[in-house]
Amino acid sequence: MTDMDENSGLCPLCFTPLVKGGCPLCKARGRKNRPDARTLPAYSLLKGRYRVGGVLGAGGFGITYAALDRLTGARVAIKEYFPDRLVTRGEGGGILPVNSDSRLAFMTSKARFAEEAKHMAELRNVEGVAAVLDFFAERGTMYIVMEYLDGVTLGTYLAKSGKVPFAHAYALLRPVMTALSRLHAAGFIHGDVAPDNIMLRESGATLFDFGAVVHSDVFEGARRVTLKKGYAPPEQYNAGMVLSPSADVYALGATLYRCVCGAVPPESVLRERKDTMKKPSACGAKITAEEEAALMRCLETSADARFPDMRSAADALDAAVEKDKRCGATRDKLLEKLLGATR
């Protein structure tokens, strides 16, 4: 009997229990299992324990799969380190360097990825952060096993809604600010804060996708691997600079800006030359002068002019929001409304 026979009552893509008419989750999200030469063969078994399903997301440095933990019966998400400019998929699903020149770069970056996986596993109890449950080397690369997050990404919601009043956006993202404050206090920088990496769940907003996470002790001189235009600060474009927690402050500020203005800020390196970014109030956002001042400081192109870390940014935003009577809606009610609108 095959593993898929054992799990015949589950969706082969996301392992959600099937109902009449198919998988309720994949059907609702229009998810299909599209063959891709870059991805693992369908239903691959990793570590003799994790049965791989469909692709949840992919980028230039990794592919995230839905998977089933055969030991516990729980759904999990598995991120595979796959820097597509350095490696290719070999027979049987293994990872191979593209050429001899890329081999050293891949081995070095893979070792760094493994080191950061160890650090992230230590933070599995930080509220608002997707828990890292396991990590291991196999098929020539590294894998990180994380908790499976049900819900919708903030990016998906914004694509449908356009924009959100500042008071609502702040209430939704405040737990993410707390999570980033704790990451910074532990010496980490997320490096890829953006709407697509924030999951809206019934329990609150959760920050995920830690493929770009770095520890401040080992980040000096590291090459920047994640650049989301509009969300990445100028220093993230410069491989010779050391990132600080203020890089996450900029990205969180850009995420708030996207929520309230309905558009991503102009690319930060272009803003350094000529800043054409409109203030939220000029975009018709419902925001007070104090809130706007705190948000604009998050988005300073100079790291020295920004809040130094998320805790100081959150304190300033908290103080501004306390004066705003429109912030009376509870986070739970907002999440219930937003999740209901996307189902």
> What pLDDT, in 10s, does the model give residues 220-230?
433 445 678 99
Q: To the nearest whole number, what is the mean pLDDT of the chain?
A: 83
Q: What is the DSSP string of 211-256?
A: TT-EETTT-TTPPP----TTTS-GGGG-TTSPP-THHHHHHHHHHH
Distance of CA 205 to the CA centre of its chain: 11
Please state, in angstroms and rounded to a whole number, the distance separating the CA atoms of residues 101 and 103: 6
Span 142-156, average pLDDT: 89
Q: pLDDT value at position 2?
A: 43
Which candidate, 132, 247, 254, places its Cα nearest to that of 195?
A: 254
Please state, in angstroms and rounded to a whole number, the distance separating the CA atoms of residues 242 and 216: 9
Q: pLDDT value at position 38?
A: 84
Spatial contact of 80 and 65, defined as CB atoms under 8 Å apart: yes
pTM across the whole model: 0.77
pLDDT over 70 (residue 35): no
Which candidate, 13, 265, 258, places its Cα nearest to that of 157?
A: 258
Span 100-124, average pLDDT: 85
User: What phi, psi does 62 have (nearest 5°)?
Assistant: -175, 160
Span 108-122, average pLDDT: 83
Please state, in angstroms and rounded to a whole number, the distance separating the CA atoms of residues 96 and 87: 5
pLDDT in tens, 248-262: 999 999 999 999 999
Q: Please tell me what DSSP assigns to residue 80.
A: E
pLDDT bin (cut points 50, 70, 90) of residue 16 is confident
pLDDT bin (cut points 50, 70, 90) of residue 340 is low
Share of the chain above pLDDT 90, in %: 43
Please state, in angstroms and rounded to a whole number, the distance separating the CA atoms of residues 192 and 214: 10
The tokens for 28 are 């609702």
* CATH class entry, domain 3-147: alpha beta
Each domain of the chain, given as residue ranges in start order, spans 3-147, 152-341
| Residue 273 exposure: Cα atoms within 13 Å on the Cβ side | 4
pLDDT bin (cut points 50, 70, 90) of residue 334 is low
The tokens for 4 are 């898929």
Which candidate, 28, 83, 24, places its Cα nearest to that of 341?
A: 28
* 3-147 shares its CATH topology with 152-341: no
Q: pLDDT value at position 249?
A: 97
Q: pLDDT value at position 4?
A: 45
pLDDT bin (cut points 50, 70, 90) of residue 5 is very low
The tokens for 232 are 């990445």
Spatial contact of 77 and 66, defined as CB atoms under 8 Å apart: yes
pLDDT in tens, 288-318: 999 999 999 999 999 999 999 999 999 999 9
Distance of CA 300 to the CA centre of its chain: 22
Q: pLDDT value at position 119?
A: 76
pLDDT over 80 (residue 135): yes
The tokens for 37 are 């030469």
Spatial contact of 239 and 224, defined as CB atoms under 8 Å apart: yes
User: What phi, psi does 64 have (nearest 5°)?
Assistant: -110, 130
pLDDT over 60 (residue 28): no
Return the CATH number of 152-341, one of 3.10.450.50, 3.20.20.70, 1.10.510.10, 1.20.1600.10: 1.10.510.10
Please state, in angstroms and rounded to a whole number, the distance separating the CA atoms of residues 190 and 195: 13
Q: Which residue has the higher pLDDT, 274 or 213?
A: 274
| One-letter amino acid of 54 | G
The tokens for 236 are 């993230």
Span 171-187, average pLDDT: 88
pLDDT in tens, 37-80: 789 987 899 999 999 988 887 877 788 898 999 999 999 999 99
Please state, in angstroms and rounded to a whole number, the distance separating the CA atoms of residues 343 and 66: 20
Q: pLDDT value at position 88?
A: 93
pLDDT over 90 (residue 243): no
